[in-house]
Copies of this chain bind each other. A is one copy, B any other.
Amino acid sequence: MDRQVRCYDCGKTYRLEERQRCSCGEPLWFDADAETFEWPDDDRNWTAGMWRYEDALPVAPSSAVPTGSVPGTTPLVRAEGLDEYAGCRLSLKPEGQNPTGSFKDRGTAVGVEYGLRDGHDWIGTVSHGNMALSTSAYAAAAGLEAAVFVPADTPLERLELIARHGARIFRVEGDYGRLYAETLGLEAEVGRFVNSDTPLRVAGQKTVAYEILEQFQPSAPDAIVLPVSSGGQASGVWKALRELEAAGLLDADDVPRLYLVQAAACDPIATASREGRESVSAIEPGETIAVSIANADPPSGTRALTAARETGGAVVSVPDEATREAMDRLATAAGISVEPSSAVALAGVRELSRRGELDADEEVVTILTGSGYKERYDVDVESRTRTIDLEAVERELAAALE
């Protein structure tokens, strides 16, 4: 149970309770005893979900959180039907199958267990949607209060999902980036806010990469492609790859390249990458359908950019039109419904193949971060639907399927 956090950039260390960001300005993450890590034995069952990798996590699961709320062990789907579209050998990691329908449950579970261990009676987060929902549900399951800070313009549709679990919701007027930073700086609350790039959350989020690499055994994928917003998830995936390499479970030559994808209308990390800059700075955002990843001032943007560069990957952005098309392909060719912010990853794969970054014979894993069933999107129902009379069933069916 390690409380030591470290800056990936300058190497300085702190205790988690001391601060969640380094004095150099960059985000921190947990040290892990990676050198001693081994793939779990069969007796640590897959039903343990992400706690299968407990030895690499800063906290252990307790009995206070019902085991059914355990995230992880999402499938790895080899989606041959999308290979031609993707321009490579595509596998999908549908994180929407986690308990609250998104990848966020992994980090939330770590944050909740840590809070319980320290005797806290509430946890907090700053979020647009998925993370707020996940935090509310897990807090409820663990018997904690949840304090959720959302931008004032968050749609009622999303607030309803969050409110069901009994969270206290604060709609905040003002700059989102500042709100995010300020909650982490609140004197009395250090360690209770499990925001999207904080050490506790990054520790949980990294387990998706442990799973991907274990599911891919004995080989490794050539590339992992994921959407990027705050940079917290990208940081977690990068951290996992570094740990697995340090543990001798992944050869240096086999480390997958990390590709990060943003929506073109709000792409501060891709912009910095395009301009060859060393660090990411805030941009003026435009409108995009990929609302969950529209972060114009990403707190772990530079760390994410570094992750892509150091693994030989890249950061790209895609227009909403490509995202809509990818979303449709996933639903009709793979049977998986995702939110637009997840579909950007597949749109990104297509773009990367077009640019020659990905080859047709390469194994590429795309992380689909969230379920598409939680919100309504513009779907053409009319063209697929006929209203008929009961007497006409046989005739209509024959005509339609001829």
Give the interface of A toward B (CB within 8 A).
42-43, 45-47, 66-70, 73-81, 92, 94, 97, 99-101, 121-122, 124, 136-143, 145, 147, 149, 152, 156-157, 159-161, 163-175, 178-179, 182-183, 186, 188-189, 328, 331-337, 371-374, 376-377, 379-381, 384-391, 393-394, 396-398, 400-401
The answer to whether B172 and A140 touch across the interface, beta carbons within 8 angstroms, is: no
With both chains docked as a complex, state the minimum distance between the C-beta of A116 and any C-beta of chain B, in angstroms: 14
Q: Point out which of A374, A386, A390, A394 has the most chain B C-beta atoms below 10 A from its C-beta.
A: A390
Copies in the complex: 2
With both chains docked as a complex, state the minimum distance between the C-beta of A241 and any C-beta of chain B, in angstroms: 22
Determine the chain B residues whose CB is within 8 A of the CB of A78 once the complex forms: 66-68
Determine the chain B residues whose CB is within 8 A of the CB of A100 once the complex forms: 335, 337, 373
Bound-state Cα–Cα, A121 to B400, Å: 13
Closest to A328 in B: B164
With both chains docked as a complex, state the minimum distance between the C-beta of A377 and any C-beta of chain B, in angstroms: 8
Q: Are A390 and B172 also in contact (CB < 8 A) when A73-B47, A337-B137 are?
A: yes
Q: Are A379 and B160 also in contact (CB < 8 A) when A173-B390, A400-B168 are?
A: yes
Bound-state Cα–Cα, A63 to B385, Å: 31
The answer to whether A159 and B381 touch across the interface, beta carbons within 8 angstroms, is: yes
Bound-state Cα–Cα, A170 to B388, Å: 7
Determine the chain B residues whose CB is within 8 A of the CB of A331 once the complex forms: 137, 140, 164-166
Known: A137-B336, A170-B400. 16 other contacts (CB 8 A): A45-B46, A46-B47, A47-B73, A67-B76, A68-B75, A69-B75, A121-B401, A140-B335, A159-B381, A165-B335, A165-B337, A166-B331, A168-B401, A172-B390, A175-B390, A183-B393
